[in-house]
Amino acid sequence: MLFHSSIRKELARSFGATLVVLVTVVVTMTLIRTLGEAGRGIFNPADVMIIMGYIVLADMPTILSMCLFLSVLSVLTRMFRDSEMVIWFGSGRGLTALIKPLFLFAWPILVVIAVLAFLILPWSFGRIEDLRDRYEKRGDIARIEPGKFQESANGERVFFIEKDAAGTQAGSNVFIATHKNDKETITSARSGRIEIINNEKFLVLENGQRLEKTANKPDLTVAVFKTYAAQVDADDQSARSFVPYSAKSTLELLSTPSKAHWAELSWRAGLALAAINLVVIGLATAGVNPRVGRTANLGFAFMAFIVYFNLLILGKSWIESGQVQFGVYLLSLHGGALAIGLLWLAKRHNNWGWRPRFFGQSGRHTPKENP
C-alpha cells in the first residue's frame, strides 16, 4: 500500500536523524567520563578511544530503543498536526491499522536490539574488563609517570621520577620507598635507567643513597652508592580472576542459574521486550493538543522512557536480592506495559469515553426543600 510505504520511509528518515543525534550525545558524554577515569588511573590513557567504542556499543540497545520510540511518536504526531490522519480515518481505517506498517519498519531494528542485548553487550563488557584488568596488572616500570607518585602492583613500593628522557627508559631524581617484611627502605638517586640483566628487568640507579629501617628497632642504616640495581616486577600475564555478571555470555548465565544470573538475564530480555512495548505505546500516545503545544508528546516520551528503563534497573536489583521472581517480574512489568499500551490504543481507536454522573440520569440537580 502506498500509504504504508510512505510512512515507513518517513519513519526511516526520522529514525536515522534521531540516531545520529543520540549517538553524538552519548559519544561525547562517554568520552568525558572515560577521560576522567583514565585520569584517575582506572584505564590506560592510550585505550580511551577503544574503551569508548566498547561502551557505546554496549549502550546501543538502549539508544536504538529510544530512537525507535521517538521516531514513531514524532512521525505520527506530525501526521495528526498536518491533518494526514484525517484522511486515514476518513478511508475507514483506525489507529490499530497502523500496527502492521509500524512493525514492518521496526522488526529489523528489534532483531538488532535483541542480538546486541544477548550477544554483543556481554562481549563488550568483557573486553572493557580485560583492558581494565591488564592495566591494573601492568609492571612497575609501566606505572612510573614523571612528576607523579605511583604505587607498585603489589603495594610494596612507591616510585617517583622527576623527569625522564624522551624516547629512552631513563630518568633523573629517582625516589623509591619500599615496605616489605617489616623493613622500610627509602632509596634516592640522581639518575636511573632500565637494563636487562639475565633476561630480567632491573632499575639501575646512580649517585644516590639508601636508608633502611627495621620495624620496632631504633637503628637506621644509611648507605651511599655510586651504582645500585633493583629488580622490578614484570607485567602480570595471568588471566582475569573475576568475571562480572554483565560480562558473562547468555549461555553461561542460563547454564548456571542463580539470583544474580537471573537478574542479568532480566535486564537483557527487558531491553528487547521494552523496545516492542515502546512501539505500541508510541502509537497509542501519538497526537496533538493545541492547548499544550507541540513539545508535550516529546516531553511525555522522555518521561515514559526514563520511567520504563528505571523500572528495568530496579527490577534487576529486586531479582538479585530475591524480592521478586524472574518470571513474575517480566510478566508484571513488560506484560503490564503491553496491556496498558493496547488498552490505551483500543480506547483511542474506539473513542471510548467516561463521563461521571453525579446528578442522576438527566444530568440536572434538583435541590431538596428543607422540611
Selection from 269, 178, 185 nearest residue 222 by Cα? 185
pLDDT of 168 reads 53
pLDDT tens, position by position, 184-221: 888 888 887 777 777 777 778 888 888 888 877 777 88
| CA distance linking residue 25 with residue 16, whole number of Å | 14
Contacts of 137 (CB under 8 A, 6+ apart): 153, 235, 236, 237, 238
Q: Which segment, 161-170, 187-196, 331-340, is predicted with the most confidence on average?
A: 331-340
pLDDT of 244 reads 81
State yes or no: pLDDT of 297 exceeds 80: no
Share of the chain above pLDDT 70, in %: 77
pLDDT tens, position by position, 124-159: 988 888 888 777 766 555 556 666 677 766 667 777
Note the pTM of the prediction, 2 decimals. 0.74
Across the range 173-193, mean pLDDT stands at 81
Alpha-helical (H) ranges within the chain are 2-39, 48-81, 84-90, 99-115, 121-136, 140-143, 250-255, 259-285, 296-321, 326-330, 336-350
Rounded (5°) CA angle 150-153-155:
75
Instruction: Please provide the average confidence, as pLDDT, over all residues in the chain.
Output: 79
pLDDT of 65 reads 92
Whole-Å CA distances, 327 to 113, 256, 270, 332, 349 = 21, 17, 12, 8, 31
pLDDT tens, position by position, 212-241: 888 777 778 888 888 887 766 655 555 566
Contacts of 28 (CB under 8 A, 6+ apart): none
Selection from 74, 61, 57 nearest residue 18 by Cα? 74
**C-beta separation of 266 from 327 below 8 A:** no
